[in-house]
Every structure is written in C-alpha cells, then in structure tokens.
Structure 1
Amino acid sequence: MLMWKLDSCRRRQRRGNKETRVAHQLHGQWYRGGTSKCWLFANDEMPADRVGIAQALAAAFGSGDERQLNGVGGASSTTSKAAVISPSAIPGIDISYLFAQVGIGASGVELTSNCGNCASAVALYAIQNGLVRPHGEITQVRMVNENTRSVLVADVATPDKRIPSNGAETIPGSSMPGVPVNVFFENVDGASTGELLPAGGAMTQLAFADDFVGASCIDAGAPACFVEAAELGMTGTESVAETRLRLGELIAIRSAASVAMGLSAEDEVPSPAVPKIGLVAAPADYTSISGETIPANAYDISARMVSMFDPHPAIGITSAIALARDAFVEDSLVNSIIADTVLAPVDESREISIRIGTPVGVISCQVQLDELGHVARLGVRRVARRIANADIDLPLVG
C-alpha cells in the first residue's frame, strides 16, 4: 500500500453530492495557467505533512515513469506541476499555496520553488471555489507561496462581479484563450536564500570545463543564473532543439551556480528545480516555435531557459521575474544589455516594461518602481482556465 493515508478526519465524500469516497482517491481540479498546466488540490484533500503530500502527488502523477503513463502527469516540465491550496490566517492575505514540481521518470517531488504560471491558476481557483468573492470588474487575490514565503498579488478579471468560467484573451505560447490574470510579485529580493545576490556580487566567475564563465546569479522570484550566450558561442536566438544540444554545458554551469549561491554543497546534487539557468543576449531577428518572424526591434533581451533539465518552450514566470529584477542590478549581465535602451526613459508612472524574446514569442514583464526609483513589484500578464474537475484514483503499490 502507499506509505501514507488520509487522516480519519479527511472527507470521504465527493464534493457536491453524497457519493462515498475511498481513502486512496484524491479530488483535484486541472487548470491551465499561462503556459503551464497544474493540478490543484484543497489542503484537506492531502496528508498533513510534506512527505505525505510528495508521496501522494508522485503516485497521482505516475512520476516514476518518463511518460507518466500511469498517472495524470503531462510528462514535461511545464505540465508536471501541482499546488495545494488553503485559506490564509495572515492578515491581508487571502490564500496560501504549496507548489510542487513533480518528477518525471523519478519519484521525487520538488517543494522548494514557486511557479508564476501556476499562481495565475491558483488565483482563478480561489475565486471559482469560493475562497475569494468577486468584488468588481477586477478581483484582487493576495497569496503567499509557502515554498518561498513570497507574496503574490493576482488581478483576476471578474466582469460584472461574476465568477468567470471562460475568457477571451490569449498570450504567447498558447493560442487558446483564458481568463485574464495579471500576477505581481512583491518583496522578491532574496526570498529563497536571504540575499538578492547570493553569490556575492553582480557578476560571478563560475568554473566550467577547465575554464571560467561569467554569470549573474540572483535570487528574485526564484534563484537564477544568467550567462551571456556569446560566452558559449551561441546567439541567444536558438530554437528549443538547438538549445537542447548544449544541455550538458548548461547543466554543468547550473551546478557550479548552485554551489556559488549556497543552494548546495560541492558534493551534493543540486535541486532539479533551482537555480534556474538561462542564456541571454541582445536582440536579433529569430523565428518562433509557431514560425513567426520576431524582429530585433520587437523585444529588449533574448532568453533561452532550461527547466528541469530540458529547454523551456517559453520562459518560466519566476525566471522572467529574476531576469527583470537583474536589469536593476548595476553592472549585472542583464543590466549591461538593456540599461541604455530600456531603463533610461522612466516616465512619471514609474513603470517599465521589459520585453523578453523567448522561443514562443515576446513575453513582457512589468516593473513598478517606488518614489525612490527602487523596484517595488514585478508582474506578468497571464491567462488561466479550468480544464477538469475530477477524482483521481491512486495506484496501490507494494
């Protein structure tokens, strides 16, 4: 049998009727959030401890198989995600959620990071499940990510104060529409490590293949490491397939960055989720996954990110937040690329848009500054939609 079981106080009935539920069954809701898909669970559906949660999710997703054939996982880094959601007792916070990146081909479940795409789904879930009542054309959902203690604020479209079921907006990376959700990160500096620059400075030299490579290591949104594409003989406009050919080098640099940032010891295997690793470069024309030509003047900086040991088809939102925050670190890599073009013309609104060229197209990150010119919060426009409301039968093993 599974090594965990639901407590006797857990509900055994299907929501909305009186059908008996069995203990090896989870009720979940499947959402698309941005360019990710996430299974979302109420906290009372899950074991009380994180070990039990990880075991339950690994079983539900079929994580031991590379295809996740025996579970509900999507067998990719952007579709093997989950969150456990609960009302919050913190003043000014509506809900809290524990994010999980579920292993693919391995039973491990990563519980140390965050996902901005899934956060957009969590916000819509909160409204659709009565945790937050709609109160205008836009309903604000304030959330705490339990993994990093980061505060996120989501503005969800609720036309005529109604609970939305569908939306008409699209974003790069998905041609299908969803409910508009703008996700903002507050107080992002050092959320995971306690330091904005955990490697000690704006630029760090990382040992790599009997040489050194310069990198910006930053903890904002998520711990991330950015390397100039040219240092590896690349352009920063590579396709996903072309980036995959260089995975060995990128993963090696990521391991060095993990040690430099204090996330792992030299003799430890780094977490599969953090730090994020990516290539950045000045704009150049390129062709997106859909075949669209993206001209250099349509964006400010290119990024090719790796997620869970595979090239990301777009860019994770926490990676986008880290990149945008790095733009405001003097002498950092991102700052050196865009400082003269993007950061100079700040108007009275104190808002700056940083346009990131990714494999799926251009994704913009909004940066709001305070009256002193410091970064106050960073946000990205997403869309979300509920796909399914389901009971998941867990396999009996052992």
Structure 2
Amino acid sequence: MRIPATLVRGGTSKCWLFNSQDVPASRDLIEAILIDTFNAADPRQIDGVGGATSTTSKAAVVSAATAEDVDVDYLFAQVGIGDSRVEWGSNCGNCATAIALYAVSHGFVEPTPGTTLVRMRNLNTGTRLEADVATPGGKLPAFGNARVPGTLATGVPVTLAFLDAAGATTGSALPTRHAREELAVEGQHFLVSMIDAGAPMVLVDAGSLGLTGTEGLAELSALVPLLTTIRNAAAVRMGLRTAGSPVDHAVPKVGIVGPPKDFVTTGGQHISGSSYDVSVRTLSMHTPHPAIGLTSAVGIATAALTPGTVVNTAMVRGGSRQAADGVTHLRIGTAAGVIGTASTVDPFGGTMRIGLERAARIISESIIFSREAATARTSA
C-alpha cells in the first residue's frame, strides 16, 4: 500500500509526518505500519525510512483539530531501533516545530504576511503549543537562514512556545511533591529533581555523580547504563510505571545538571561559563542527545523557576535573569552550545508560556510502501 508522507527536519530532529486521513484510525495499526516502514527491528533500519538514531526515528500523525482554539492535533511516535515497538508516552518539541511547517504547507492553516500562527495540541500528553512560522509575503519559503545549536543546517525560522506544560502527564510539576530528593539506585544514592513539564524528567545533580555537567558526549556515553537505571527507578517513583512492568525508554527524560563552567562544544567552539546559566547533558533513548530535546528544555526552564530543584540551586546569581518586560530568560549550556528559553506568566489568566527559537525545513514529499498497511486494508 502507498502512503503519502512528508519528511521534515525540525531543529535537531527529523520526523516523518502523516495526514491522519492516509493511515488507519487504530493506534495499533499505525504502530504496525511504523514498525514495518521504519524497519524498527533492525538496529540499522536499513530496509526502512528510519534514520537509526533516536533523533531521526520519529513520526507523527497530524489531523485537523476539533477544538476551536486549536488548528492541528498530532500523535507523536518514537519508533524503536532494533526494537519492534513504538513508544507513545511522550512529546517532541522538534517534531512540533516540523509539524508547524507541515500545517502551513498542507493547508491546515492559511499563511498570513510576515508570520503565521499555528496552534497545536499533542494528543499523547494533552500539551498545547503555539508556533510562529516565518511566512514572508504570505508564503512559506522552501529554505531559510535560521540556525540552532546542534546542526550546521539552516531552515525557516519558527518560534515555538509550550503553554501550561507543567503536569501534563502526572498532574503536577513535582510528581513526588519534592523539589529535590535522594534516589536510591543499586545501593547508591543520587541527588535528583523529578519534574513533569514538557515531558516527565529526572534531573541528576552532577556532583552526586562525581561530574561537572559539562562532560562531552563520549564521557556521557560511558554513563548510559547508570543513567538508564536511574531513569527506570525514577519512573516508578514518579508513578509512570509499576515495578516489574515493561520499561519505557522515552520517558522520563534523564539529564545531568551542573553549574556553568567553561567547556568546548562538539563543534569545537569555546563556551565561557559566564555566557550561560546552567549546564545540562541529556539522553535521548539509549544515547547522549547531541544538544537537548525541546521538551527537556521546557522541563529545565520550569525547574529553574522552582526553588530547591537541582537546576535552581546549580544556577549562579541566585537564579535566571528577569527582564524588565516580565520575561524570565534562561541560557542552557548543552554539548552543542547555548540554547535560550523565555518564560512568561500571564498575570491575568495565569498561563505559563515557555518559548524557544527554532528552525525547520521540509526535505521531501514522499510515497512510502507498507506491507502492514496493505494487510490492514485487506483485512478490513
């Protein structure tokens, strides 16, 4: 069966996007199609459209929203690599950036001169997002000059904002009701903060690991087994799964947090500790993230505003910087460079808005051949 699909780079991820009208309504059938077309069972994904890395083995199904204040709904899928399954428990800000372009290019939203607002809802978590997409002259450009840390590629400028992202999965920004606590893992104790904002996260104080938080990707790779064990223990503590139940490798996100120090990026750029507020290194599934996932950046920004968290206490100058316009800016030092967030609280409605500057580009409009989709249609 032939399935129309669009490949879009959003930030530092690549996402295959499907119109909901072109795939079955059943999530089980969608999962079977993704496992087949990505060749998820093969660690190289050689016989499929997957990129064989956690940042390029992603997909989303996009549909016109039924709510009046939302333009598109999307269901995000993290497709397995060497693992015949799909994890549905999370969201991806980079893919949301890609979906914003897709919504304009595929007629879900009519472009307007200057910028076009796209209002989105993630069906996995209920998180609401807004994106301002650059549409000069009321047209979506094929290319752009915007760039983000973690890639040399340029793309169309997109400002992505998460709205009231705290507690979307667990019901609380602090699922355990503690800003900071010790987590016991295999006879060791680690100082952590467990946050639910953007996506559930467990953030480990770098000092309790004997680290600085500015380690390179090679050093972080050696810590993947330990960080995975910490993630699994935190998932139980946060109520995301019960002990003994199947492990989810997508959530909670896991990261190491430390105070700002000088370091050299993966691209060879020297970063001064005075140029950012907090050091963060995160995992994406089983590997170090080359920069940081946007949902993780939202969690870091939320933790920065929460007294007592490992992020808040690691920051210099007593916390993030408050601008005169009421926007709190946070500069996050990642292995790829510094990524900024801007947090605003509506004084009347109480809405929290966390914005990030991104870039995206549509790479391909394609037809994917699916054996599973053909089987599903024949069965129907």
Pair in the same fold by TM > 0.5: yes
Which residue of the other structure, out of 21, 44, 49, is the alignment partner of 2:21? 44
The DSSP-based 3-state class of the residue aligned with 1:387 is: strand
Does structure 1 residue 346 correspond to structure 2 residue 309? no
Q: How does 1:209-228 map to 2 (within 5 A)?
A: 209-228=186-205
Q: Displacement of 1:346 after TM fit?
A: 2.3
The DSSP-based 3-state class of the residue aligned with 1:125 is: helix
Residue 364 of structure 1 corresponds to: 340
Which residue of the other structure, out of 356, 379, 383, is the alignment partner of 2:359? 383
Q: Displacement of 1:224 after TM fit?
A: 0.3
Q: Say if 1:367 and 1:375, in contact at 8 Å, map to a contact too.
A: no
- Identical columns (%): 44
Question: What is the one-letter code of the residue matched to 1:307?
Answer: S
Residue 378 of structure 2 corresponds to: none
Deviations 1:18-63 (A, max 9, x none): xxxxxx2211000000000000010011111110111111111010
Q: Say if 2:117 and 2:132, in contact at 8 Å, map to a contact too.
A: yes
Which residue of the other structure, out of 144, 150, 154, is the alignment partner of 1:167? 144
Q: Displacement of 1:269 after TM fit?
A: 3.2
Q: Number of residue pairs matched?
A: 374
Q: Say if 1:301 and 1:338, in contact at 8 Å, map to a contact too.
A: yes
Paired with 1:390 and 1:373, the residues of 2 have a C-alpha distance of: 43
Question: What is the one-letter code of the residue matched to 1:202?
Answer: A
Alignment TM-score, normalising by the size of structure 2: 0.95
Which residue of the other structure, out of 37, 44, 58, is the alignment partner of 1:67? 44
Q: Displacement of 1:126 after TM fit?
A: 0.5
Q: Displacement of 1:338 after TM fit?
A: 2.2
Q: Say if 2:322 and 2:329, in contact at 8 Å, map to a contact too.
A: no
The DSSP-based 3-state class of the residue aligned with 1:237 is: coil
Residue 203 of structure 1 corresponds to: 180
Paired with 1:279 and 1:370, the residues of 2 have a C-alpha distance of: 30
The DSSP-based 3-state class of the residue aligned with 1:175 is: coil
Deviates more, 1:158-167 or 1:334-343: 334-343
The DSSP-based 3-state class of the residue aligned with 2:218 is: helix
Q: What residue ranges of structure 2 are gaps of 5+ in the alignment?
A: 376-380
Question: What is the one-letter code of the residue matched to 2:279?
Answer: S
Question: What is the one-letter code of the residue matched to 2:325?
Answer: S
Which residue of the other structure, out of 365, 370, 379, is the alignment partner of 1:394? 370
Question: What is the one-letter code of the residue matched to 2:152?
Answer: S
Q: Say if 1:327 and 1:339, in contact at 8 Å, map to a contact too.
A: no
Q: What residue ranges of structure 1 are gaps of 5+ in the alignment?
A: 1-23
Alignment TM-score, normalising by the size of structure 1: 0.91
Residue 236 of structure 1 corresponds to: 213
Which residue of the other structure, out of 253, 256, 275, is the alignment partner of 1:276? 253
Paired with 1:232 and 1:375, the residues of 2 have a C-alpha distance of: 36
Aligned-pair Cα RMSD in Å: 1.7
Deviations 1:257-283 (A, max 9, x none): 101100011112331110000001001
Residue 31 of structure 1 corresponds to: 8
Q: Displacement of 1:196 after TM fit?
A: 1.3
Q: How does 1:309-324 map to 2 (within 5 A)?
A: 309-324=286-301
Deviations 1:283-333 (A, max 9, x none): 111111111111111211111101112111110000010010011111111
Residue 121 of structure 1 corresponds to: 98
Paired with 1:375 and 1:332, the residues of 2 have a C-alpha distance of: 22
The DSSP-based 3-state class of the residue aligned with 1:171 is: coil
Paired with 2:133 and 2:217, the residues of 1 have a C-alpha distance of: 31
Q: Displacement of 1:199 after TM fit?
A: 1.6
Which residue of the other structure, out of 282, 301, 304, is the alignment partner of 1:327? 304
Q: Say if 2:121 and 2:127, in contact at 8 Å, map to a contact too.
A: yes
Which residue of the other structure, out of 79, 98, 101, is the alignment partner of 2:78? 101
Deviates more, 1:31-40 or 1:259-268: 259-268
Q: Displacement of 1:375 after TM fit?
A: 6.7
Q: Displacement of 1:374 after TM fit?
A: 6.5
Paired with 1:373 and 1:91, the residues of 2 have a C-alpha distance of: 19
Q: Displacement of 1:373 after TM fit?
A: 12
Q: Mark the CA change 1:66 to 1:87 in structure 2 (over 3 Å): closer, same or farther.
A: same
